[in-house]
Amino acid sequence: MLYGILAAVHLLVSIILILVVLLQTGKGADLAGAFGGGGSQTAFGSRGAATVLSKLTTTAAVLFMLTSFSLAIISSRDTASVLDETDAAPIPVTTTTADPVPAEGSPSTTAPDNLPATPLPEIELPADTAPVEESTAPAASDSE
């Protein structure tokens, strides 16, 4: 119950955080910021007054971190693992050789004798088709 409520709050806070961050403008959004102008006396630019969006961003970020840590702690208490629940016996591993040789008296690995023997059908070529012979002519070479 608590996990579900906390997950819903976490989802809501994350959506708010995304929206608030996307609504803000960057510090160097003007043309002077691209060339180093505007607040070049400080390391990160001039620090203006905190706006409502920046305060809302900070609050949403703190709530996001707190709900993330809370969800992680709650889910770590339930340490049931899928591997702990299995009662299956291990699967036996069998090894075979690459070319097995049947022992005397053991059944062979050929086709059974009770299968009907069906010959392959004869293929007739048209009368104007001559058999293809290999060429003995020397290959053309580029002797230029």
Residue 108 inside a domain? The answer is no
Residue 56 inside a domain? The answer is yes
Residue 60 inside a domain? The answer is yes
Residue 131 inside a domain? The answer is no
3-state DSSP helix/strand/coil percent for the chain, to nearest 5?
Answer: 40, 0, 60
**pLDDT at 61 (0 to 100):** 95
Residue 91 inside a domain? The answer is no
**pLDDT at 57 (0 to 100):** 92
Residue 87 inside a domain? The answer is no
Residue 3 inside a domain? The answer is yes
**17-33 b/e (C-beta count within 10 Å ≥ 16 → b):** beebeeeeeeeeeeeee
Distance separating alpha carbons of residues 14 and 1, to the nearest angstrom: 20
pLDDT along the chain (144 residues), means of 10: 93 95 75 57 61 90 96 82 66 64 60 67 73 62 55
* Residue 75 contacts residue 3 (beta carbons within 8 Å): yes
Residue 119 inside a domain? The answer is no
Look up the domain containing 54 and give its range.
Answer: 1-24+50-77
- Number of structural domains (the chain) is 1
